[in-house]
Amino acid sequence: MPSLYHHPMSAASRFIRLVLNEYELETDLLEERPWERRADFLALNPALTLPVYVDESLHAFCGAGVVAEFIDETQGVFHKQHRLLPEDPIQRGEVRRLMDWFLIKLEHDVTRHLVRERIFKLLMPKDRGGGAPDSKALRTGRANIHQHLRYIDWLAASRNWMAGATLSYADLAAAGALSALDYLGEIAWNEAPQARDWYQRIKSRPSFRPLLGDRVRNMSPVSHYADLDF
């Protein structure tokens, strides 16, 4: 069976878990803490980044974008109108643009600050970067989230799904990041009603249910995290 090295609070890992769930691909989930620098994980991915997908032939695919492309090339063709990376090249370009927005820009501006400071640093030993949250990093993430939320709200208001008429990788990449931030209670959904409606739709999909069961030691989610009508 294929394996996915992931962490429950890694936005990129959450994205790939949603992809695998949408395509109903059975995968062995292996929680990884990259800061532990395990030799076996280093051998798979010297960059020590998540996620890493290992197929049945034991080939390792490192990084959410690489894994998503591999899954599309090997599985997407069998799903036709439900393909998560559209066949039309212009639509594919828009999906890829938004994947980069959520996996790179949102991660850089917001997610890495809040998730690292509030979750990962509590799990890390001090000699690997653990310790008390950095208040400056928290302020940066919280200041930047409003701009991103406005953009997501605009996308949700002007399109049926993030990249167009159908569900795509763009939606799953956005949901991966927002679900991690929502776990922490960092999203003011009242500021973005259209984004909230979109998130309710994707949160209600069967593929999302395993994420709603995620829990992190010593950090419970906000009360509405698993509520489908929040």
pLDDT in tens, 164-217: 999 999 999 999 999 999 999 999 999 999 999 999 999 999 999 999 999 998
pTM as predicted: 0.96
Tens of pLDDT along 40-95? Answer: 999 999 999 999 999 999 999 999 999 999 999 999 888 888 899 999 999 999 99
* The predicted structure's pLDDT at residue 195: 98
Report the SS3 class of residue 3. strand
4 close to 23: Cβ distance less than 8 angstroms: no
Strand-pair partners of 62: 52
The mean pLDDT of the chain is: 96
- Express as a percent the part of the chain with pLDDT over 90: 93
Domains of the chain: 3-82 (3.40.30.10), 89-212 (1.20.1050.10)
Q: How far apart are CA 71 and CA 173, in angstroms?
A: 14
Q: How far apart are CA 169 and CA 148, in angstroms?
A: 18
Q: Residue 141's CB: how many other CB atoms inside 10 A? A: 22
